[in-house]
Structure 1
């Protein structure tokens, strides 16, 4: 689970990985015979029994630096990834954060990312904590965000990521009912296709920490799925 790939001076929410560190992390995966993949591809290959060696790479929020910093590295390594965009903030900035303002991808950048083979999926309309909204707003966050993104990229949007990694049974059921094929959580109490766990990756994650996180993640989800 990534967010922003960029140079920075201040990162109070720990959402940014510097480009040199990100490059080393991708090299670490390839050196171990692993390949980054988007979530739709990962799930399809898992269903077909061909997921060995694949690692799902996700980027929450749809920061503009995904297109300018992360995408060139991913393409160079032959990796795929999923970027979860906030449809109501396309071309704007991360208004939900109290820290430094970061630009979000424009519609043109989202189309370029999709045309390059990356998966574009939904992170809601306004990046609101879904357990705090009523049923009507929840439905709008799920359905309208997907419709808007599909219009922008001209492709189906089948995945969702819960803002702030927050989702209880109601929100998980609503995502399933809205027709999403899968949804990414962080550490769900009950893992499922619509509550997939992820491992946070940050600037401090060098080779030893990456190895520890990979092993921990594998052990955790093998025991719970």
Structure 2
């Protein structure tokens, strides 16, 4: 887990043409997307289409990702971040110290790592995408990290975020960020947003985990 300092990020929505700033508190984010090895250790399953311990886990839904966060928290003696209801919805207990998905604002703030351009480095140096992936996913950590030590924030696999994309237009669809190994260069940018149903499983979507820092008394 990497310490991400506090800061402010500006988010935007293309449909509504809305732009809004978000203050982000300090938190922790995993240096790498969750790997197939870690997922198998915690959940006991290997759902991915491609196989390899150090490949990012993929073909996991948003629902799978939040269940993983709770299972990992319980394994490490932490308070699970999510409560699940009979209708399959999840509620985030913001006081919990366990693992969770990053919010959209946290993800973009961590991705940018203090930069203001579309990417935190030259695309071919920091990301696996259609132009250099040779049509396949790659082991985590094979490209340069950003200034805060986070690898594969862009490219390789899309990252599920906690947030609902646009409840008015798309209901329960959740946010995806970062671009993947099959995407063109324009999708692998810090500001690009994608949406999907929380039950979607596809071979270019994975996730990375975050943790809140304890509040000071």
Fold-level match, TM-score > 0.5? no
Structure with the largest fraction of helix: 1
Structure with the largest fraction of strand: 2
- Which is bigger in relative contact order (C-alpha 8 A, separation at least 6)? 2
